[in-house]
Amino acid sequence: MPAISNKRVDTVKRMMRRLLTDTFNRDLLTLLIVSIVIGSLLASTVSLAANAYFSKTLANLVGDYGEYDLVIQSREEMKQDTATQIQKIIDDVFPGAVLKEGPTITGKTNFFVSLPAQYRTKEVYENMGKTFGSIPGGAGVGFMTEPRLTLRGVPEGARNMLIERIEQIDGVSFAFHDGASIGVILTSLDKSSAVNEQIKSLLQQYQVVEISFPVGSEPANPIRLGQAITDTMKERLKVDYAENVSVDGKDDDMTATVSTMMELKRFLAAYASDITITLNDSAKLLKGDSVVFQGSAESAPVNGAPVGTGNVLVEVTEVEANGTVKGMITQGDASQLTNTQGYKLTNNVVGEAVGTVAYRNPRQELGNALGETNKLVAQIPGFAADGRNVSDIALQTLNNYDTSVAGLEKLLDNLQAAGSTIQTVTGSLANLDTRAIRSQVDNSNQALGNLATGMQVLQLINPDAKNTVNNITGAQQNLNNLSQTLGAMESVSDQARQAQSVIDGITANGQTTIANLRAFDAAGAKKNLTDAQSHLAKLDEVNIPLVTAQLQYLSAAVPNLKDEEIGHSIKLLDKFIAGQVIPGERIQILTSRNISTDAIAPIVYEKAGHNNVSLYSTDLGVMEPNARGEVYKVLSEVRATLAGMTAIIITLVFLALDHTSVMTVMRRKRLTIKETRQGWRGVLYRLAITFTAPERRYGMAMGAIMLTAMFILAKGGIPYLPWLGVPLIGAMLGLIAANYAEKINPVSTEEVMAGEAIGLSFDEIMREIVIPAGRPGLLQKLNTRKVKFK
């Protein structure tokens, strides 16, 4: 390792001696340094001059930092009247304020107002729109007071809370409502960074959970739904803070009024007739189109005729994908839709036929339902009595349940004992060989029969043998009886075994049945029946006549409204609700940041009644960059871009004027060595030489070094160009210069050869022949003091 380190040190020393020696390499190093310095100065000068020009222009347009507090825009053709009115207002309301007319841009004239310090208050700023509301020309008021921060994206209902929290921060003079944003005026510019960080920390403590509803699934009353969600969040999730910030909560009376109107609209919409129009194949309707039906008119609508007072007019409210549309009646009533053919209304006249209508009248259905419910209520006492009777019978059956099961068990025990007795008897019979005995008896009987026959013959001879014959016949009869008895015993044994098998099956099935019967919860069934009886008994406490009377009252109180009256009322409510900017497609819940949307989702699904919603978590607000600061930032980027572009141009000029002569000599020297590579090796060599030729490597190195150094010293930069791309661009410029070196800066071969012939060194040839004959540039200027043959 020490030997390697010493070798590296020696190499560095040799390179330094070579550079410091009065050689052409030192000339190139000097040229490189001078080029970088001059190029950086030129690039910086151009960029700073442009930056100063633009900054001065900006100051002339909008004034210096903190000079003005308000900017008021007006139409160009009204600027004289606007200036007069503004001057009158500031004389009356803001004595001592200064007005200046600014430039006119895209037809808008800007007026700048500088306010005295005593008028820079929260109350004044929040009422500025009213103060200058009488200015003609559609003027708009903006704030320019500095130092100032702006928060945007804050939900309307959270702005008051956030303003109160921000005003408690040290360094904040006041915070105010600036349209849909929050403006924060600081006490001094030095506090800007600290206040900025504290506001960001405050915003990080909260999150806004946005609950979005797709088209067709919007809640009827988002205010009430949002309140229900926040109340449930506080109860279940134990959150410290959860509020519905979809609307401004500072005006509770207006919020309650709007919520009531939403409920009224939902009530009316529920009672409006449900109109469905099935379109013809070629027909097409859009939301907002109107369809005319005959209604109570004497004849059907005619193409080109105006709408009559008896016609029914339906406005399309929803277009479905299955070729049908939903609508709301704006003239007439659904009961008049006897002729179902509809015609499109075009330019207030009847057009072509578009489809047929079908409708459902909720008011009529409600009246019918109340009538049927009234009939049902009248039957409740009878239902209760029948239910109690059935329950009593069931309870009596359950009371005898245990006795019946015990009797069944006793019966099974008796059957099992009988089976055991039969088994004992059949076992004894099985040990007796009745077949062999019966065979012997039959043989003996046959022998006695033969003997009896012989004795009967003998009786003919000797009458005294009669008694003997009778005895033999009696014995033979006894043997026959014994044989029959033995046969019966065999049959009894078989039947006994069959009976035992049947009894065993009955016993096994009976045990399973008893187990199932024992598993039945008779006590639980009794309890349920007892509870049912108590519930049925409570029906007797219901005041059936009162319920019947109320149902009859409700049936008579069903809104007796026509569909056109409902439609007009809904439109009127929509106009008022829309004027209060009540969002219907989303609800914004402000809560602490440690609660996830996954924890809130079940509550939202429960309260909304469906899962067709989307939940997103967003920041409470975003710090908006200062407009003037952003302009200066853009100017800074422009300055850096100008410096970078100038550096690129200067690098290309220096490469062309100073370094192409060197690259030309290097190329001539390379070409003196002939390369005879053929085939694919030749192709690869020619491709490689594009980047590895000495003059090209020299050009890429010089271009990369010069451009990178100029970018750094001049603080240049090009948007979307990383710093790694700077040396690559410089190398590309050097490669281009190397490719065109001979055309840009040709070298006389004869003069070079003559110099070599008289014994000049490479350094002397470059200094005495090549550089003086080359393009005028820094290298030629620096080389003047090196030339000996002038």
What would the DSSP string read from start to end of 717-773? --TT--TTHHHHHHHHHHHHHHHTHHHHS---HHHHHHHHHTT--HHHHIIIIIHHH
- CA 92 vs CA 85, 95, 137, 372: distances in Å: 11, 6, 20, 73
- Tell me the pLDDT tens digit for each residue of 22-51: 577 787 888 888 889 998 999 899 888 888
CB of 272 closer than 8 Å to CB of 324: no
pLDDT averaged over every residue in the chain? 75
CB of 273 closer than 8 Å to CB of 358: no
pLDDT band (50, 70, 90) for residue 173:
very high
* Higher pLDDT pick, 367 / 730: 730
The position carrying tokens 């699934």 is 217
Q: What are phi and psi of 588, to 5 degrees?
A: -110, 120
The pLDDT, as a whole number, for residue 28 is: 80
Across the beta sheet with 622-624, what order do the strands follow? Answer: 172-178, 181-186, 148-152, 622-624
Highest average pLDDT, of 189-198, 242-251, 557-566, comes from 189-198
Tell me the pTM. 0.47
CB of 294 closer than 8 Å to CB of 311: yes
**Coil, strand, or helix at residue 97?**
coil
pLDDT at 732 over 80: yes
- CA 249 vs CA 156, 179, 232, 245, 450: distances in Å: 8, 17, 19, 7, 131
Q: How far apart are CA 733 and CA 654, in angstroms?
A: 11
Show the tokens assigned to 377. 């209520």
Strand pairing partners for 274? 360
Q: Which of 322-336, 452-466, 530-544 has the lowest mean pLDDT?
A: 452-466
pLDDT at 645 over 50: yes
pLDDT band (50, 70, 90) for residue 170:
very high
Query: How much is the average pLDDT of 579-595?
Result: 72
| Angle at CA of residue 470, ends 467 and 476, nearest 5° | 145
pLDDT band (50, 70, 90) for residue 789:
low
pLDDT band (50, 70, 90) for residue 76:
confident
- Tell me the pLDDT tens digit for each residue of 403-425: 655 655 665 566 566 556 656 65
Query: How much is the average pLDDT of 512-532?
Result: 64
The pLDDT, as a whole number, for residue 460 is: 46
- Tell me the pLDDT tens digit for each residue of 283-296: 888 888 889 998 88
Task: Count the residues in the chain.
Answer: 790
The pLDDT, as a whole number, for residue 457 is: 46
Q: How far apart are CA 307 and CA 765, in angstroms?
A: 104
Query: How much is the average pLDDT of 415-438?
Result: 58
* Higher pLDDT pick, 687 / 286: 286
pLDDT band (50, 70, 90) for residue 465:
very low
**Coil, strand, or helix at residue 605?**
helix
- Tell me the pLDDT tens digit for each residue of 367-377: 677 676 767 66
Q: How far apart are CA 689 and CA 739, in angstroms?
A: 11
The pLDDT, as a whole number, for residue 84 is: 87
What would the DSSP string read from start to end of 9-32? HHHHHHHHHHHHSSSHHHHHHHHH
Q: Which of 356-365, 451-460, 552-561, 623-632 has the lowest mean pLDDT?
A: 451-460
CB of 326 closer than 8 Å to CB of 318: yes
Ramachandran area for residue 81 (φ above 0: left; ψ -120 to 50: alpha; else beta) = alpha
pLDDT band (50, 70, 90) for residue 136:
confident
**How far does CA 218 lie from the centroid of its chain?**
17
The answer, yes or no, to whether the previous bond of 147 is cis (omega within 30 of 0) is yes
